[in-house]
Every structure is written in C-alpha cells, then in structure tokens.
Amino acid sequence: MSSQYPTDEFDNPPSDGPVGVHRKPASPWRPVIPFLVILLVVPLLAWGFSEFLMWGSKDKPAVSAPQSQQSAAPTPSQPEQQQSSTTPVPDPLPTEPEQQTSPEQPTPSDGDVNPAATIEVLNVAGVDGWAGQVVSQLAENGFNQSTAGNLDWSPTEGNSIRYQSAEDEPTAKKIGEILGISDIALDPESSNTHAVTVFLVVP
C-alpha cells in the first residue's frame, strides 16, 4: 500500500489565508491585555504599600522631648551643693547686755528700795499744783503709792525728806535722787501713815 496521496486543495492553501486553518483565529485584544494588567496592578500595589507604611507609623510611640527642654532651670551640681552645705555659719553677734535701769527708776533689784512704799508729798510753799507735779514725777519712776497735800509748816527751811523707820532709808534716798533733795533724815513722827514724807518749801 502506498503512502503517497494525490495532491489536493488542502496541500496548496491560499497565500492570504491563516496558517493552520483548522485553528481558531486569535483575538484582537490579546496584545492589549498585558498593558491593562499593568495599569490595574501597579496602582493597587502602590496603594497597598502606602497603607502599610501609614499603619506602621501609627504604632510607633511619640518621641519625647529632650530632657534639656523639659527642665526649665538646671539643678545645681553636686560640688556646689556640697559647698553650700559645708559653708560655716557665722556665730551670732553677742547681744548687748540689757541696759541697767536708771537710778531714777526704783525697782526691787535696787537693794532695799521699795517701789510700793507709801509717800506723802506736802506743798509748804503754797505754789499751786507743785505737789501734784512731784507725785507725777515719782509715778514715772515707779513709785505709784504717792499722794499730794498742803501744809503750812515744815521741819526745815528748805526742801527735805523724812522717813519712818530704818528699813525705809533706801527708799527715801532714792526719792531724794529723783527730786534732787539732799536733806534726808529719820523722823518717826513726820507722818503716822506714810513711810516717806516729802516737804516742798523752796520752789
């Protein structure tokens, strides 16, 4: 049996016909499909990448400000603190001793002077208000038990002070220093109710 067949119309296809006429003709969109895929896929990939970056940035903690800006004023260094703590504190200046009371202000510390002693001031000169002025002067110096009166006689020709007993002598001398009277003597009969009596004779 011979393998040769006579030539027919299938063995000589027309020159303008498709190769392999038994196959389905190619689609005209086939060359365009790769470009469409690129146009769609590339934007999607770019959008997904940007979303990934934004999601990663949200999870990162906020950066804290530098420590130098948080503190408004710098704290002193340790050597300065040690120096301030070791600085010797000067001793306080010695206070001046309290001034002693004036001799014109009798107080219980003046020996046996008794500021509570009863004193009678008698105006023998007849000068109005003189005995009251002397009583005020004695009160300013601590003798508050003084009274003023008038008398028409005096045991001496000048101003004098008389006291009742020996224990009243320091008080009488203190009153003499205040009033400037030097004639001071013991006279139990000068007064029956007052420890010291002052006679004002010469203004």
CATH number at residue 195: 3.30.70.2390
| Residue 189 covered by a domain | yes
The pLDDT of residue 108 is 40
In which residue are the tokens 């009488």 written? 172
Pairwise CA distance, residues 95 & 44, whole Å: 93
Render each residue's pLDDT in the chain as its tens digit; 203 residues. 555 666 666 666 666 555 554 555 666 667 777 777 787 888 888 888 888 888 766 655 555 545 545 545 555 555 555 555 556 565 655 555 555 544 444 444 456 899 999 999 999 998 999 999 999 999 999 999 999 999 988 888 999 999 999 999 999 999 999 999 999 999 888 777 899 999 999 98
Label each residue of 172-200 as H, E or C: HHHHHHHHCCCCEEECCCCCCCCCEEEEE
Angle, helices 130-140 vs 169-179, to 10°: value is 110
Pairwise CA distance, residues 186 & 194, whole Å: 13
The pTM of this model reads 0.46
Pairwise CA distance, residues 182 & 143, whole Å: 19
The pLDDT of residue 121 is 95
| Residue 160 covered by a domain | yes
Q: How many CB atoms lie within 10 A of CB 193?
A: 9
Through-space distance between the first and last CA atoms of the chain, rounded to whole angstroms: 192
| Residue 16 covered by a domain | no
The pLDDT of residue 103 is 47
Full strand arrangement of the beta sheet holding 196-200:
146-150, 119-123, 196-200, 160-163, 184-186
Looking at the structure of the chain, the number of domains it has is 1
| Residue 46 covered by a domain | no
DSSP 87: S
The pLDDT of residue 107 is 45
Pairwise CA distance, residues 130 & 62, whole Å: 96
Pairwise CA distance, residues 109 & 24, whole Å: 145
Domain coverage including residue 138? 119-200
| Residue 187 covered by a domain | yes
| Alpha carbon distances (Å) from 35 to 26, 29, 38 | 18, 11, 5
| Residue 64 covered by a domain | no
**Amino acid residing at 148:** A
**Amino acid residing at 116:** A
| Residue 20 covered by a domain | no
